[in-house]
């Protein structure tokens, strides 16, 4: 059966609402009797709380209450739950919703003011007197494990949160038989969330009615429901979590935050709805970020550049608490062979505490770091052996005839990491062609003749997408003929409504505009997981496909009885079942739904359940591996260190594309995020743990004026792991970007022998490297 809309550039159904100002984000929601909250946050990175005196704040007109840890009572005095427990976590430190007696990062919530308005609540913050006793803070991951390093938590003896290792193949043998061993050490820094909508929560507690309802700007309402119900020691049935329109997520909105607990408790204490909207300054200090990783690697290779092994050590910054378990370090290790067939790998990670905001995945999670590391080492091999970067890659790719290819690494949960499909070399060739790689040397020489420095950088990646185990969908035909489609997956702009409507409409034979789509409300669909790790298309896609197919089958079976025709002669188009060759014989899906779901004293047709509905949890039977090759062309001004990205070419394969327009949007947005990581985004702390970049003048995000046009070409290698052949597409733009940009900058500055060991690459760093290179050349 043809899925008619699959692959069509359907304009998004969510857009007319958003284009006319009729979105409904958390801060757009108001309710009767609602109060407003503001959080008092720790001003020091590490301190004991000696006392809190809120009397002046409470006396301010319009303030209803100031709540600190001690006001919550014994029932609510425990730390937040660990969402992702793992045996390697040696110190499982989660925070209290409101700090108890110690604060461990600037921005940690200490108290919450509830007032008539947000402005009054913020006024009151200045009137709360907290007596802190400053403690030494640890900030630098390179020295955090030294014997004399300050401790991030007063009650521990080490800043080591845990250790991990990815190891496979015979690493000793690989290094013993190598013609060459090269090493490189580098730091990677990834910034924060910076969704244009900050976080925000409204809680309403109705103990005799609906229970506790939370509207929250989040990616994972079901995870929050479970975590909150567990924390409160209440039934999940009594906790409803709704993610309304969400203005971007990018990972940090996938967690469970102290504010979600504190605002729930505030609503419970105040017996009225309470709203909190994060301001941008708070976003910098209280929304989780990704930040530093230091890598120290060795690569073993043959004289021809065939890589035999990779080994080394990573230090991973965890921040002050462990809200996400080991998700980040783990997703840094998993992609380690990258797009290459590397027989042996042995890399271990020390995960260290610092007195900074807890870390979480940001677009791509650890994948951009793992891929950057592999790509750097490929670059080192290319440079040291004088082989073209594209050619080194050709010599090392996993070949399409090796698929499915088991890398040797393990996914989260211990399953082997298997590349299901793809042709990495063909993809590279497409990227090279798109970028006019073969004529670059001429462009470079012509530019040099004018005194301009151009450089080109290549980077390839794989992306493990579609993490299971499921994300279900219900499809139900209503008596009106409209089709209600519900799923748990929250959208933060990815166009789920359109994508799922296309799949259901095509499969069921209705118009996409007749689909009534609802998602991300735990009261509307039994169970979901969340929108993380490019998993929705490869999980909701198949479940929507299957549920629609089941409803179709049921409709055709009933229609065959009603129309006295053979099922094989029936077809559904625009919501009407027709008999082929007998155009007058027809019945609409709405009428079938009424027949199937009669009111009292009528008969339900024999052999049917009384609803024209189906629910499916069909998903992907493994992790579909998307892949891409990127080519960046830059110009560097050696006088100022300014980097301009002139061209950016992407060849990408995310399997069958449901809506190519949406895929392009994901890739371009992802690439720009990756360029931001490579060149701009830097969250700086001083050595006392004070954040120094707290607004968009100090912390730079990529702007339209600095971004190149991104050229994209696709391959569509269907994934064998799900019914649609799809793979995720949300992060494949970001993952390889930093490696391509950094390689291009080095290429532009070959004359100066510039080697970059840190990103974001800023003009000051570059001019220093250029000056050092020029001085060395002059000697």
Partner 1 sequence: MADTRDIELTVNGESHAANVETRTSLGDFLRHGLGLTGTHMGCEHGVCGACTVMVDGEAVRSCLMLAVQANGQEVTTVEGLAEDDGTLNALQAAFWKHHGLQCGFCTPGMLTSLTAFLRDNPDPSERDVREAISGNICRCTGYQGIVDAALDAAKTMQKGS
Closest CB to ligand FES among residues 435, 666: 666
In sequence order, the 6+-apart residues with CB closer than 8 A to the CB of 232 are 76, 212, 239, 264
| 517 CB burial (10 A radius; 0-12, 13-18, 19+) | buried
Q: For ligand FES, which residue of 150, 366, 422, 493 counts as binding (CB under 6 A)?
A: 493
What is the C-alpha radius of gyration for the chain, rounded to an integer number of angstroms?
Answer: 28
- Other C-beta atoms closer than 10 Å to the C-beta of 341 total 18
CA atoms within 13 A on the CB side of 384: 21
Q: Are strands 129-134 and 180-190 parallel, antiparallel or unpaired?
A: unpaired
Residue 702 Cβ, how far from partner 1 at the closest point, in Å? 8
CA pair distance 179, 500, nearest whole angstrom: 52
Closest CB to partner 1 among residues 702, 773: 702
Quick note: the x/- pattern for partner 1 over 173-212, rule CB under 8 A, is: ---------------------xxxxx--------------
Residue 672 interacts with partner 1 (CB under 8 A)?
A: yes
Residue 279 interacts with partner 1 (CB under 8 A)?
A: yes
Closest CB to partner 1 among residues 2, 704: 704
Residue 33 interacts with partner 1 (CB under 8 A)?
A: no
91 touches, from partner 1, ligand FES, none (C-beta below 5 to 8 Å by class): none
Closest CB to ligand FES among residues 15, 406: 15
176 touches, from partner 1, ligand FES, none (C-beta below 5 to 8 Å by class): none
177 touches, from partner 1, ligand FES, none (C-beta below 5 to 8 Å by class): none
Q: For partner 1, which residue of 247, 512, 641, 728 counts as binding (CB under 8 A)?
A: 247
Q: Are strands 643-653 and 710-715 parallel, antiparallel or unpaired?
A: parallel
Candidate ranges 52-60, 95-103, 202-210, 692-700; the one touching partner 1 (CB under 8 A)? 692-700
**Count of residues that interact with partner 1, criterion CB under 8 A:** 56
* Beta carbons of 68 and 111 less than 8 angstroms apart: yes
Indicate the DSSP class of residue 688.
T
Candidate ranges 182-190, 254-262, 492-500, 619-627; the one touching partner 1 (CB under 8 A)? 492-500
Q: For partner 1, which residue of 1, 415, 445, 703 counts as binding (CB under 8 A)?
A: 703
End-to-end CA distance of the chain: 73
Residue 248 Cβ, how far from partner 1 at the closest point, in Å? 5
434 touches, from ligand FES, partner 1, none (C-beta below 5 to 8 Å by class): none
Closest CB to ligand FES among residues 18, 187: 18
- Other C-beta atoms closer than 10 Å to the C-beta of 201 total 26
In sequence order, the 6+-apart residues with CB closer than 8 A to the CB of 770 are 638, 641, 749, 752, 754
CA pair distance 402, 4, nearest whole angstrom: 33
CA pair distance 572, 460, nearest whole angstrom: 44
CA pair distance 359, 283, nearest whole angstrom: 13
Residue 753 interacts with ligand FES (CB under 6 A)?
A: no
Residue 19 Cβ, how far from partner 1 at the closest point, in Å? 4
Closest CB to ligand FES among residues 174, 494: 494
**Which tokens sit at 585?**
């014989």
- Other C-beta atoms closer than 10 Å to the C-beta of 208 total 5
| 418 CB burial (10 A radius; 0-12, 13-18, 19+) | middle
Candidate ranges 454-462, 488-496, 523-531, 619-627; the one touching partner 1 (CB under 8 A)? 488-496
* 259 φ/ψ angles, rounded to the nearest 5 degrees: -65, -30
SS3 of 635, please?
Answer: strand
Residue 248 interacts with partner 1 (CB under 8 A)?
A: yes
Q: For partner 1, which residue of 673, 682, 714, 727 counts as binding (CB under 8 A)?
A: 673
Give helix 536-563 / helix 496-508 axis angle, nearest 10°: 30
Residue 469 interacts with partner 1 (CB under 8 A)?
A: no
CA pair distance 388, 188, nearest whole angstrom: 25
569 touches, from ligand FES, partner 1, none (C-beta below 5 to 8 Å by class): none
What number of H helices and E strands is found in the chain?
A: 18, 29
Closest CB to ligand FES among residues 195, 435: 195
Q: Which long-range contacts (CB under 8 A, 24 or more apart) does 440-445 make?
A: 440/633
Residue 119 interacts with partner 1 (CB under 8 A)?
A: yes
Residue 196 interacts with ligand FES (CB under 6 A)?
A: yes
530 touches, from partner 1, ligand FES, none (C-beta below 5 to 8 Å by class): none
Closest CB to partner 1 among residues 607, 697: 697
In sequence order, the 6+-apart residues with CB closer than 8 A to the CB of 92 are 82, 85, 322
Q: For ligand FES, which residue of 23, 43, 136, 248 counts as binding (CB under 6 A)?
A: 248
Give the footprint of ligand FES on this chain (CB under 6 A): 196, 248, 493
Give the footprint of partner 1 on this chain (CB under 8 A): 11-12, 14-16, 18-25, 27-28, 30, 119, 194-198, 245-248, 250, 279-280, 492-495, 661-662, 664-665, 668-673, 695-697, 701-707, 709-710, 733
């Amino acid at each position: 059966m043809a899925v008619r809309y699959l692959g069509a550039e359907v304009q998004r159904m969510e857009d007319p609402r958003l284009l006319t100002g009729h979105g409904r984000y958390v801060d757009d929601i108001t309710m009767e009797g609602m109060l407003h909250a503001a959080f008092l946050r720790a001003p020091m990175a590490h301190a004991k709380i000696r006392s809190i005196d809120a009397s002046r704040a409470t006396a301010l007109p319009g303030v209803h209450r100031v709540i600190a840890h001690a006001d919550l009572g014994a029932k609510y005095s425990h730390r937040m739950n660990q969402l992702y427990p793992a045996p390697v976590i040696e110190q499982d430190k989660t925070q209290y919703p409101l700090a108890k007696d110690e604060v461990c990062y600037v921005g940690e919530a200490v108290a919450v003011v509830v007032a008539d308005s947000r402005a009054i609540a913020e006024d009151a913050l200045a009137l709360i007197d907290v007596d802190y006793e400053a403690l030494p803070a640890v900030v630098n991951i390179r020295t955090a494990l030294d014997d004399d390093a300050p401790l991030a938590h007063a009650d521990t003896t080490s800043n080591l949160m845990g250790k991990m290792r990815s190891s496979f193949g015979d690493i000793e043998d690989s290094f013993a038989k190598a013609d060459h061993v090269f090493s490189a050490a580098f730091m990677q820094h990834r910034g924060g969330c910076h969704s244009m909508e900050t976080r925000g929560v409204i809680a309403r507690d109705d103990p005799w009615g609906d229970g506790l309802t939370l509207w929250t700007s989040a990616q994972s309402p079901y995870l929050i429901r479970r975590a909150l119900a567990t924390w409160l020691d209440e039934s999940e049935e009594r906790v409803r979590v709704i993610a309304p329109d969400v203005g971007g997520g990018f990972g940090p909105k996938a967690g469970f935050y102290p504010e979600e607990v504190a605002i729930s408790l505030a609503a419970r204490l105040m017996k009225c709805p309470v709203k909190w909207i994060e301001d941008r300054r708070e976003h910098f200090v209280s929304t989780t970020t990704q930040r530093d990783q230091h890598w120290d690697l060795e690569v073993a290779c043959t004289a021809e550049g065939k890589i035999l092994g990779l080994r080394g050590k990573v230090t991973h910054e965890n921040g002050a608490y462990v809200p996400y378990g080991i998700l980040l370090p783990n997703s840094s290790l998993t992609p380690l062979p990258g797009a290459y067939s590397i027989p042996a790998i042995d890399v271990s990670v020390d995960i260290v505490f610092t007195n900074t905001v807890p870390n979480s995945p940001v677009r791509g999670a650890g994948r951009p770091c793992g891929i950057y590391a592999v790509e750097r080492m490929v670059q080192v091999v290319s440079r040291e052996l004088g082989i073209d970067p594209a050619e080194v890659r050709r010599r090392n790719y996993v070949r399409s005839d090796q698929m499915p290819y088991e890398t040797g690494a393990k996914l989260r949960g211990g399953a082997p990491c298997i590349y299901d499909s793809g042709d990495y070399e063909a993809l590279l060739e497409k990227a090279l062609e798109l970028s006019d790689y073969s004529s670059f040397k001429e462009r470079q020489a012509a530019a040099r003749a004018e005194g301009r420095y151009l450089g080109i950088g290549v980077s390839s990646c794989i992306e493990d997408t579609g993490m299971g185990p499921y994300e279900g969908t219900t499809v139900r035909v209503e008596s009106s003929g409209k089709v209600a489609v519900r799923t748990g997956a929250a959208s933060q702009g990815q166009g789920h409504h359109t994508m799922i409507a296309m799949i259901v409409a095509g499969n069921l034979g209705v118009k996409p505009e007749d689909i009534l789509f609802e998602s991300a409300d735990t009261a509307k669909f039994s169970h979901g997981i969340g929108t993380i790790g490019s998993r929705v298309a490869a999980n909701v896609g198949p479940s929507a496909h299957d549920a629609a197919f089941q409803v179709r089958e049921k409709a055709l079976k009933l229609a065959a009885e009603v129309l006295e025709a053979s099922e094989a002669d029936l077809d559904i188009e625009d919501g009407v079942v027709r008999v082929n060759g007998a155009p007058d014989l027809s019945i609409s899906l709405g009428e079938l739904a009424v027949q199937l779901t009669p009111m009292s004293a009528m008969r339900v047709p024999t052999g049917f359940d009384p609803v024209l509905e189906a629910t499916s949890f069909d998903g992907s039977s493994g992790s579909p591996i998307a892949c891409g090759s990127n080519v960046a062309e830059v110009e560097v001004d050696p006088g100022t260190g300014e980097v301009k990205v002139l061209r950016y070419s992407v060849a990408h394969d995310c399997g069958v594309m449901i809506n190519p327009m949406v895929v392009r949007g994901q890739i371009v947005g992802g690439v720009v995020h990756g360029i931001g990581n490579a060149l701009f985004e830097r969250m700086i702390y001083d050595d006392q743990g004070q954040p120094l970049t707290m607004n968009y003048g100090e912390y730079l995000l990529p702007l339209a004026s600095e971004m190149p046009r991104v050229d994209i070409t696709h391959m569509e290698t269907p994934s064998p792991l799900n019914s649609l052949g799809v793979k995720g597409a949300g992060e494949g733009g970001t993952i390889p970007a930093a490696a391509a940009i950094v390689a291009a900058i080095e290429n532009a500055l070959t004359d100066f022998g510039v080697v970059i060991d840190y990103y974001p690459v800023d003009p000051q760093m570059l001019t220093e490297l250029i000056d050092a290179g020029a001085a060395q050349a002059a000697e």
